[in-house]
Structure 1
């Protein structure tokens, strides 16, 4: 197979990019575009709505959502606040810092079983990633600082298996 994402005549790889800004979609559509069709959702709720419409082969998911309006964040704030002994500020930061995991759960609950690449640096948290991927074998990660070539390799490796 060539270095292209797909053979001539095949449909492009469909990737749903879930992020609260436009950095990933801009980088991916500019530098990692050949043979890949990207769609974007800026919240977990919207990502779940788009699953049937887009029929993605892969979800590329940001971990941190600090620009999303709080009413669009997934996760039970009552439960999170209890976890942080009533500290709403800490609970909200946890919800934002780990929103990707809340979205991952919502995608799986919506029936999406295909691969998800979390854009997050688990390099210093390998045990955490091993625990997550043990529960979800279709979960992968690509460091959030990765260059376009690394991201492309990760997408192609995951989709091709």
Structure 2
């Protein structure tokens, strides 16, 4: 079986370190630290899957995706709440940018939607190639999620 190419999009190094150390069986990881960088990597990398962090609170403000003016209006002029929303949900802004850039493959959001199943159902109805894995998941769970997402049965 060929190696699975995974683009890890996160604002730190935790996911890349953990995935490449503990979930490395037949998987090659490449990291992007922002949505813009992830979109720039798509043509050359041609990943099989994107493993995407949801929260980007360490990303420089100017590198965050999303229209802060529109978000501020949505939050009745409260710039701080709009910025917090932009950071807390940056993964969804990155997901939209990846789709707009032409990536149609599977995306695993690293986020616990356990208490927000209705929210995840709404997201996945719009994007059937979307799944999630809680950020506290162990290596076997993540490996199985990656295998399922790319259409392989975990060994």
Counterpart selection for 1:119 from 110, 114, 122: 110
User: What is the SS of the residue equivalent to 2:69?
Assistant: helix
Mapped pair 1:100 → 2:91: yes
Mapped pair 1:68 → 2:63: no
Deviation at 1:59, TM superposition (A): 0.1
Distance 2:142 2:106 in 1: 14
| 1:49-89 alpha-carbon deviations (Å, 9 max, x no partner) | 00011110000000000000000000000000000111110
Unmatched runs of 5 consecutive residues or more in structure 2:
none
After TM superposition, the score normalised by the length of structure 1 is 0.93
Superposition pairs for residues 41-60 of structure 1, below 5 Å? 41-60=32-51
| 1:3 alignment partner in structure 2 | none
Count of aligned positions: 152
Q: Point out 4+ residue stretches in structure 1 off by more than 4 angstroms.
A: none
After TM superposition, the score normalised by the length of structure 2 is 0.97
Unmatched runs of 5 consecutive residues or more in structure 1:
1-6
Distance 2:70 2:7 in 1: 29
Counterpart selection for 1:128 from 119, 125, 129: 119
Aligned-residue Cα RMSD (Å) equals: 0.7
